[in-house]
Structure 1
Amino acid sequence: MGNTNTKETVFKSGWFKRPTYRIPALLFHENNFLAFCEKRLNGTKDYGPMNMVLRRGCLSDEGINWEPEVKLYPENDSKDTDKKRPMNPVPIDVGKNHIILMFNTYPENTPSSVMQQSNTRLWQIRIKHSYDGGKTWSISQQLPVDHIFSDSKKRPIPSYCAVGPGHSIKLESGRLVVTGNIAWPKSVGESKRFNGWN
């Protein structure tokens, strides 16, 4: 194999950090690297306009050949992406060229600290599928969250939820295990806790 130790910046921030790339997740599947990342269009802050992006890198004898950046979200042909910012990419290798990408969306200009103390759920968990190793992707769907938190000791659905970040796993049983953190407002009696669900 050729020289694979050559350094290459997969996501390079722009002038004055616009855009800034944050919160990467890396998956290796069928001789290809899939690098996911938040593309923060207005700088380093964790709210404002963002894209969820992907670059695929094919491993060969000459090294890794990185393909151009692809925008996965917002989706131009979906009505559910208006003024939402995507965050925390969580890729999962399901097998047989099937890859799942899970991520959160939040109101574009609402900071996480505000959502954590809100009595209104403003977050979503969305999921996308690829059946060809990450070359093409389905339109994202919102996951129903009621059953995910059905064992939350009769507490309401969390006011804030963040999946991942980073890749998650599929167990031999077929169950997907995804980590994350959740928060309730102080009025519920618990400001924050970390958890995982499957």
Structure 2
Amino acid sequence: MKLTLLSAALLAMGGIVSAAAAEPFIEKQDLFRVGEDPAYNIYHIPGIVVTAKGTVLAWCEARKRPAGVSDWDDIRILLRRSTDDGKTWSAPKSIASVDGPKEKNPFSLRMKNVDPKDVTYNNPVLIADKDGTVHMLFCLEYMRAFYQRSDDDGVTWSKPTEITSTFDAFKKDYDWKVLATGPNHSIQLKNGRLVVPVWLSTGTGGNAHRPSVTATIYSDDQGKTWKASEIAVPNTEEWINPNETVAIELNDGSVMLNVRSESKAHRRLVTISPDGATKWSTPKFDDALLEPICMGGIVRYNHDGKSLILFSNPHNLEKEKGKAEPGKNRDRKNVSVKLSRDEGKTWAVSKTIEPGPSMYSDIGVTQSGTILCFYGTSTRPGASGETPLHFAGSGLTLARFNLEWLEAQ
């Protein structure tokens, strides 16, 4: 290979010639949009993961009833696949189905507008195993939990196995009536352990989802059996209703949970365990991570010698329009991605992905180092005929960008 005069000069002076830095880029595409399929009126709870083979899997809850009903609607779990770094995608496919009769959670029937005939599949969680397996957990009626797996990157799935009995161990500490896995993707540790955050509720409060506590379940045999952890974040006057939680393994092998709650501090809660199951540290609020009471996403970025943590959520604490009570009701907007270079102790970069209405999110990294943020959006400038803003927005959008864009000023 011929050297340029500049390269030759650098080499002569003992310098190092490096490849030119990539140009910053960001691009967006809608993966699910209300109105494209008449069967569904809401797309919510986005999740994304990259498999060991490099396939990108993006999934969500597809809800059949219009906005304003509840989490207890007729809901299916849809998945799309990409084999080209998230550029093009397969058609949506329903991937969770349980045989036999289905009973509605009795705590849901205490609320208005809940149809006992509706079937609610909820809170899907996928894990990309380093051996190529894709593990999946999901719930039925916030009352039963199931496990299934795919050996062909999400094309086909095994028959679901019920694992609800795993949650019985929590009852000595918390008499739950409502359960939920994740949501979002979850993790496999370096030692092979699968760790899935869960939240549990007595079902006696709002939406039958409150009060709540956070914990994990884990498997040391590739999903064949599951065990319950110690309670990671209890419900207290300070830590109010901890629920939707994401996990990441730190470089020292410990597991950090990043927790949504309804606490008055309006910051994300963080707790760490040496093994993802026991000896959880005292939960602390992360002052840099605003909490508008919404799901977030977290993932490891391991490329070009860099080991970073990325976090996504709506970085906003403005009071919701029309709501009188400050500090409780917050607009879901300004989904942003943050970057930590010190294992989540500080967040050196924070960059807006979607300044307007934007909601739940998950985040992944492809094998080429492209970052993927998959999030709920509502009507954006220039769009027409879309559903007005509500808790879930009018669809789910994928942002593809590189680290150069994230770090650029």
State the TM-score bracket (shorter-chain normalisation): 0.7 to 0.9
Q: Tell me the distance in 2 between the aligned counterparts of 1:142 and 1:80.
A: 14
1:133-165, CA deviations, whole angstroms, 9 ceiling, x for partnerless residues? 1111112121142x4442553654x21111101
Correspondent of 1:52 among 77, 92, 102? 77
Distance 1:35 1:80, change over 3 A: farther
**Shift of residue 101 of structure 1?**
1.0
For 2:317, the equivalent position in structure 1 comes to none
How many angstroms does 1:125 deviate by? 0.6
Match for residue 143 of structure 1 among 132, 155, 163:
163
In the alignment, which residue of structure 2 is the partner of 1:117? none
Aligned in 2, Cα 1:81/1:72: closer, same or farther, shift over 3 Å?
A: farther
Deviation per CA, 1:94-126, whole angstroms, max 9, x where unpaired?
2322101111110xxxxxxxxxxxxxxx70111
In the alignment, the residues of structure 2 paired with residue 123 and residue 19 of structure 1 have an alpha-carbon distance, to the nearest angstrom, of 24
Who wins on radius of gyration, i.e. which is larger? 2
Equivalent residue, structure 1, for 2:126? 91
1:12 match: 33
Other-structure match for 2:217: 197
Contact 2:125 2:186 in 1 (8 A): yes
Separation of aligned partners in 2, 1:128 and 1:197: 15
User: Is the Cα–Cα contact under 8 Å of residues 14 and 20 in structure 1 kept in the other structure?
Assistant: no
TM-score normalised to structure 1 length: 0.75
> Given residue 27 of structure 1, which amino acid in structure 2 is its aligned partner?
V
Matches of 1:161 and 1:151, distance apart in 2: 11
Alignment gaps of 5+ in structure 2: 1-21, 104-117, 205-209, 219-409
Asked whether the 8 Å contact 2:146–2:164 carries over to 1, the reply is: no
Amino acid in structure 1 at the alignment position of 2:198: G
Structure 1 distance, partners of 2:150, 2:84, is 19
Structure with greater strand percent: 1
The structure whose RCO (Cα within 8 Å, separation 6+) is larger is 1
How far residue 196 of structure 1 moved from its aligned partner, in angstroms, is 2.3
Kept after mapping to 1: 8 A contact 2:132/2:153 = yes
Matched with 1:43 is 66
Q: Aligned partners of 1:140 and 1:134: how far apart in 2?
A: 14
Contiguous gaps of at least 5 residues in structure 1: 107-121
Q: CA RMSD in A?
A: 2.9
* 2:128/2:134 contact within 8 Å kept: yes
